[in-house]
A and B are shown apart, each in its own frame.
Chain A
Amino acid sequence: MGTRFDIACGRLPETVLDLNFADAHPGLSHEQAALEADRCFYCYDAPCVEACPTGIDIPRFIKAIASDNLAGASRTILQSNILGGSCARVCPTEILCEQKCVHTAIEANHAVRIGALQRFATDWQMNQSAHPFQREESTGRRVAVVGAGPAGLACAHRLAMRGHDVTIFDRHEAPGGLNQYGVAAYKLADNFAQKEIDFLMSIGGIRFQGGAVLGQTLTLAGLRESYHAVFLGIGLSGVRALGFENEGVEGVLDAVAFIETLRSSTLSDVPVGRRVVVIGGGNTAVDAAVQAKCLGAEEVTLVYRRGAEHMSATPVEREWAQTNGVTLRFWASPHHLLTDQGVVQGICFARGASGKGYDPQDSFTLEADMVLKAIGQVFVSDPIQNDQILVENGRIVVDGNGRTSMPGVYAGGDCTAGEDLTVAAVRDGRDAAEAIHAELMVSSAEKDAVNG
């Protein structure tokens, strides 16, 4: 038997690809939204609000939907979370707002569909011509935002709203970060990430500069000189390796890179194996596995080294993978790769059990044309290693206002500690923007006092 190499593009006709990558959960109709909105009890000090990292006043916006005040509903959402549209689509609401909905105390899994309602309201807003917020009077202050992901975008929007001039730098050609390059396509279907960015930018005062790589084409020290403040929303640019010598063989890819290729290409041009093994237990693993299946892979197996209950992907995500034909296997640790002439042929796993470790004698092999690694992303501090930025436990250290140890430099999102969620990144960016604004206004007032 010769070497097997079976990675190909265009496994499915374009019509099927379009169906497979269509909106995973289409938006509510006006009638559906009205019915769902009426289910909300309009709790006082609602637990759902507390469970939202951006603290959206959920009962208020749902009440507004119920009364057909969609401008009010969307404004309520967007003033707390300018990326409320993508959060409505990508948030694991089952472990956030909807988990705390008091309806779940009456009947499990019957929370008010807060995410779907939020999408309904924000979709309405995005179909309006005018931006709901106006910039305050120009302050003449310039702020650099590094990283055009959710944290950076939220920060930039809030700064622009406060009257500052913002430049966003990103290594990619287009803004959006994980929303544009990292999330499964069917979660942000119909080019939503780009539409949302256009909407966000339409407030004015925000300039985007792509192809800008921190540590290469620009430095933090340089930015500090040219701008009154800097916000770092640089995310996690590294991926963990399996640690095998032959990991560089053809067919073994980072799931993050696989998804990025998929998100930036025509679907029929994205290569995928006939048999795909995804290693990992998080949302990236699920996104990679389901999308591989949607591209036309015949067999997709997601292998996680621990049990289902330990996966960082939520049960809803897990079910989504299974519904889409992904086989899940638990308690199996990658042991070695099977390769032939520099091409992956399969991967061998050691079986394990809770509290017992993994037994290499008890192993199984999955044939694979493609192995996608989704075992975690890590913060890479190289671009800022010459700056006075304190990094601890692999993340940038910030205070409650997003301040780093370097004066005038703030950070937020995945590159700082905390939950790696889009909605948490938005909160970080927004709050850092307010802190930057406060600082710039104080220094401006001081300067005025001196000049006066």
Chain B
Amino acid sequence: MADLRTVFAGIKSPNPFWLASAPPTDKEYNVRRAFQAGWGGVVWKTLGEDPPVVNLSSRYGALGFEGRRLIGLNNIELISDRPLATNIAEIKRVKREFPDRAVIVSLMVPCEEDKWKAILPIVEETGADGIELNFGCPHGMSERNMGAAVGQVPEYVEMVTRWCKQNTRMPVIVKLTPNVTNILMPARAARAGGADAVSLINTIQSVIGVDLDAMAPMPVVGGKGTHGGYCGPAVKPIALRMIGEIARDPTMAGIPISGIGGISNWRDSAEFLAMGAGSLQVCTAAMHYGFRIVEDMIDGLSNWMDGKGYERLEDVTGRAVSQFVPWNQLNMKFRTIADIDQEACVGCGLCHIACEDTSHQAISKRNGPDRRHYEVIEEECVGCNLCAHVCPVDDCITMVPQPFDGELTWPEHPSNPHRITA
């Protein structure tokens, strides 16, 4: 049985699965249920200064696809709308009752040193394991010069991080917004400010859809809508890329990364770990199915690690990072060709029409007496994988690597006018 115990920036938890700062971690009742269900930690929903913010009615919009609900979730909820004292008392109680679990408190106050100086000791007094600076909320709070408005300015990120480091003994995790052109800028600023870790991604600015009757973005609040923060399974690829960028950046070497962004199951979790995450934060999947989803995450990750012979999380964290390279470092001699398993093929023709209409005309069609037959024209196949992706039958189309000789990357490629010559 793999050891899932996690030590992240000095914060211990029995497993790497934390609930992200969001509605599921808004109050004691939920957090208690989460810990009972087996979650390793929580990042308490963002605390601000009193008086608390006021939230709206209608807070979520969802994206479904071909019958599946909630592949993406958009929210316009602000930070905790409960008094600071209420949250603080509850955090204290929960931490005392679940000492083995990680309790991290998300914070957001205006960009004034005094404000941060004031709140830090209050939080520290709860016995919380650490703080996470919410520099990511992309809606509402950013209009008040907090959240993403800070996260988008590296100088502010560094400044506030430094204030926190100077005024608390708790580990400081800086939560990054993806709503920037280069994630390395705020990440490096966080490190420069002394951050113990970074977490990402926060939600992405989005309009989830338009209500065609109300003629307003969803969710519609009294006839109007606003942009929200987008999360859920659909954002996973964006998160993986940004985490990988940070993990492979020499100036960020060694910084713990808490991975966030559409993690829904153990496989997603393993992928985030492989791309450099040391702990994992989950929200949408729990909001969709409840806290019980953590059972299969723990179980599945552990079983997979056992199967691969990985004993500890550290054996997995960052394992794919050195293989995550710029395009220019990919071997141009490598080639795959699609292969259709005729036994498994059901004759739907999706591979053919995708290739015929939108790719390389490399799959032929022939109507047999029993069913349609589709065959790869090997000379035409560029190994793009599209057919394998559209095929509805698992493992029916495989991409078969072809023999190749040595390595040739674009910088040396004869067709590159700027090629490096000896």
Residues of A within 8 A of B (CB): 34-35, 38, 41-47, 66, 102-103, 105-106
Q: How many Å lie between the Cα of A33 and that of B13 in the bound state?
A: 46
A47 x B392 contact (CB < 8 A): no
Where chain B touches its partner, the secondary structure class is loop
B350 x A44 contact (CB < 8 A): yes
The residues in B between 304 and 351 inclusive whose CB is less than 8 angstroms from any CB of A are 346-350
Q: B366-393 interface mask toward A, CB cutoff 8 Å, 1 = contact, 0 = none?
A: 0100011000000000000000000011
Given contact pairs A45-B349, A45-B353, a sample of 14 additional A-B residue pairs in the complex whose CB atoms are under 8 Å apart: A35-B67, A41-B392, A43-B349, A44-B348, A44-B349, A44-B352, A45-B365, A46-B348, A47-B371, A66-B66, A102-B346, A102-B347, A102-B348, A106-B346
User: 20 A-B Cβ contacts within 8 A?
Assistant: A34-B67, A41-B350, A42-B350, A43-B347, A43-B348, A43-B349, A43-B350, A44-B348, A44-B350, A45-B349, A45-B353, A45-B372, A46-B348, A47-B347, A66-B66, A102-B346, A102-B347, A103-B346, A105-B347, A105-B371
Q: How many Å lie between the Cα of A105 and that of B372 in the bound state?
A: 12
Question: Which residues of the other chain, A, contact B66 by a CB distance below 8 angstroms?
Answer: 38, 66
Question: Which residues of the other chain, B, contact A102 by a CB distance below 8 angstroms?
Answer: 346-348, 371
Question: Which residues of the other chain, A, contact B352 by a CB distance below 8 angstroms?
Answer: 44
**Given known A-B contacts A35-B67, A38-B67, A106-B393, A47 and B372 have beta carbons under 8 A apart:** yes
B353 x A44 contact (CB < 8 A): yes
- Nearest to A35 among chain B residues (CB) is B67
- Identify the 8 closest CB pairs spanning chains A and B, nearest first: A38-B67, A44-B349, A44-B353, A105-B346, A102-B346, A43-B348, A41-B348, A102-B348
- Could you tell me the distance in whole angstroms from the C-beta of B191 to the nearest C-beta in chain A? 46
- Nearest to A102 among chain B residues (CB) is B346
Residue in B346, B348, B350, B367 whose Cβ sees the most chain A Cβ within 10 Å = B348
Q: How many Å lie between the Cα of A145 and that of B365 in the bound state?
A: 42
Q: B254-297 interface mask toward A, CB cutoff 8 Å, 1 = contact, 0 = none?
A: 00000000000000000000000000000000000000000000
- Nearest to B367 among chain A residues (CB) is A45
Question: Which residues of the other chain, A, contact B372 by a CB distance below 8 angstroms?
Answer: 45, 47
Residue in B349, B352, B365, B371 whose Cβ sees the most chain A Cβ within 10 Å = B349
Question: Which residues of the other chain, B, contact A41 by a CB distance below 8 angstroms?
Answer: 348, 350, 392
Question: Which residues of the other chain, A, contact B349 by a CB distance below 8 angstroms?
Answer: 43-46
Q: How many Å lie between the Cα of A338 and that of B372 in the bound state?
A: 55
- Could you tell me the distance in whole angstroms from the C-beta of B346 to the nearest C-beta in chain A? 4
Q: How many Å lie between the Cα of A66 and that of B67 in the bound state?
A: 8
Q: How many Å lie between the Cα of A143 and that of B33 in the bound state?
A: 76
Q: B53-64 interface mask toward A, CB cutoff 8 Å, 1 = contact, 0 = none?
A: 000000000000
- Nearest to B357 among chain A residues (CB) is A44
Q: How many Å lie between the Cα of A45 and that of B367 in the bound state?
A: 10
- Nearest to B353 among chain A residues (CB) is A44
Question: Which residues of the other chain, A, contact B371 by a CB distance below 8 angstroms?
Answer: 47, 102, 105
- Could you tell me the distance in whole angstroms from the C-beta of A50 to the nearest C-beta in chain B? 9
Question: Which residues of the other chain, B, contact A34 by a CB distance below 8 angstroms?
Answer: 67
Q: How many Å lie between the Cα of A243 and that of B76 in the bound state?
A: 81
Q: How many Å lie between the Cα of A103 and that of B367 in the bound state?
A: 18
Question: Which residues of the other chain, B, contact A66 by a CB distance below 8 angstroms?
Answer: 66-67
- Could you tell me the distance in whole angstroms from the C-beta of B416 to the nearest C-beta in chain A? 38
Q: How many Å lie between the Cα of A34 and that of B67 in the bound state?
A: 7
- Could you tell me the distance in whole angstroms from the C-beta of A426 to the nearest C-beta in chain B? 25
Question: Which residues of the other chain, A, contact B365 by a CB distance below 8 angstroms?
Answer: 45
Question: Which residues of the other chain, A, contact B350 by a CB distance below 8 angstroms?
Answer: 41-44
- Could you tell me the distance in whole angstroms from the C-beta of B67 to the nearest C-beta in chain A? 3
Q: How many Å lie between the Cα of A43 and that of B67 in the bound state?
A: 17
- Nearest to B391 among chain A residues (CB) is A41
Q: How many Å lie between the Cα of A41 and that of B350 in the bound state?
A: 8
- Nearest to A67 among chain B residues (CB) is B66
Question: Which residues of the other chain, B, contact A43 by a CB distance below 8 angstroms?
Answer: 347-350
- Could you tell me the distance in whole angstroms from the C-beta of B349 to the nearest C-beta in chain A? 3
Q: How many Å lie between the Cα of A106 and that of B393 in the bound state?
A: 8
Q: How many Å lie between the Cα of A43 and that of B351 in the bound state?
A: 10
- Could you tell me the distance in whole angstroms from the C-beta of B266 to the nearest C-beta in chain A? 26
- Could you tell me the distance in whole angstroms from the C-beta of B350 to the nearest C-beta in chain A? 6
Question: Which residues of the other chain, B, contact A46 by a CB distance below 8 angstroms?
Answer: 348-349
Q: How many Å lie between the Cα of A43 and that of B66 in the bound state?
A: 15
Question: Which residues of the other chain, A, contact B67 by a CB distance below 8 angstroms?
Answer: 34-35, 38, 66
Q: How many Å lie between the Cα of A42 and that of B347 in the bound state?
A: 12
- Nearest to A43 among chain B residues (CB) is B348
Q: How many Å lie between the Cα of A38 and that of B350 in the bound state?
A: 15
- Could you tell me the distance in whole angstroms from the C-beta of B358 to the nearest C-beta in chain A? 12
Q: How many Å lie between the Cα of A46 and that of B372 in the bound state?
A: 9
- Could you tell me the distance in whole angstroms from the C-beta of B64 to the nearest C-beta in chain A? 10
Question: Which residues of the other chain, B, contact A103 by a CB distance below 8 angstroms?
Answer: 346
- Could you tell me the distance in whole angstroms from the C-beta of A290 to the nearest C-beta in chain B? 34
- Could you tell me the distance in whole angstroms from the C-beta of A28 to the nearest C-beta in chain B? 14
- Could you tell me the distance in whole angstroms from the C-beta of B364 to the nearest C-beta in chain A? 13
Q: How many Å lie between the Cα of A42 and that of B66 in the bound state?
A: 12
- Nearest to B365 among chain A residues (CB) is A45
Q: How many Å lie between the Cα of A148 and that of B367 in the bound state?
A: 37
- Could you tell me the distance in whole angstroms from the C-beta of B80 to the nearest C-beta in chain A? 36
Q: How many Å lie between the Cα of A109 and that of B372 in the bound state?
A: 20
- Nearest to A103 among chain B residues (CB) is B346
Question: Which residues of the other chain, B, contact A105 by a CB distance below 8 angstroms?
Answer: 346-347, 371
- Nearest to A37 among chain B residues (CB) is B67
- Nearest to A101 among chain B residues (CB) is B346
Q: How many Å lie between the Cα of A47 and that of B368 in the bound state?
A: 11
Question: Which residues of the other chain, A, contact B347 by a CB distance below 8 angstroms?
Answer: 43, 47, 102, 105
Q: How many Å lie between the Cα of A41 and that of B372 in the bound state?
A: 15
- Could you tell me the distance in whole angstroms from the C-beta of B390 to the nearest C-beta in chain A? 9
Residue in A34, A35, A38, A102 whose Cβ sees the most chain B Cβ within 10 Å = A102
Question: Which residues of the other chain, A, contact B346 by a CB distance below 8 angstroms?
Answer: 102-103, 105-106
Question: Which residues of the other chain, B, contact A42 by a CB distance below 8 angstroms?
Answer: 350
Q: How many Å lie between the Cα of A102 and that of B374 in the bound state?
A: 14
- Could you tell me the distance in whole angstroms from the C-beta of A69 to the nearest C-beta in chain B? 13
Question: Which residues of the other chain, B, contact A38 by a CB distance below 8 angstroms?
Answer: 66-67
- Nearest to B393 among chain A residues (CB) is A106
- Could you tell me the distance in whole angstroms from the C-beta of B174 to the nearest C-beta in chain A? 41
- Nearest to B349 among chain A residues (CB) is A44
- Nearest to A104 among chain B residues (CB) is B346
Question: Which residues of the other chain, B, contact A45 by a CB distance below 8 angstroms?
Answer: 349, 353, 365, 367, 372
Question: Which residues of the other chain, A, contact B392 by a CB distance below 8 angstroms?
Answer: 41
- Nearest to B67 among chain A residues (CB) is A38
Q: How many Å lie between the Cα of A250 and that of B296 in the bound state?
A: 71
- Nearest to A36 among chain B residues (CB) is B67
Question: Which residues of the other chain, A, contact B348 by a CB distance below 8 angstroms?
Answer: 41, 43-44, 46, 102
- Could you tell me the distance in whole angstroms from the C-beta of A452 to the nearest C-beta in chain B? 47
Q: How many Å lie between the Cα of A38 and that of B64 in the bound state?
A: 12
Residue in A41, A46, A103 whose Cβ sees the most chain B Cβ within 10 Å = A41
- Could you tell me the distance in whole angstroms from the C-beta of B393 to the nearest C-beta in chain A? 7
- Nearest to A34 among chain B residues (CB) is B67
- Could you tell me the distance in whole angstroms from the C-beta of B169 to the nearest C-beta in chain A? 54
Q: How many Å lie between the Cα of A103 and that of B347 in the bound state?
A: 10
- Could you tell me the distance in whole angstroms from the C-beta of A272 to the nearest C-beta in chain B? 45
- Could you tell me the distance in whole angstroms from the C-beta of A113 to the nearest C-beta in chain B? 14
Q: How many Å lie between the Cα of A66 and that of B68 in the bound state?
A: 12
Q: How many Å lie between the Cα of A42 and that of B349 in the bound state?
A: 9
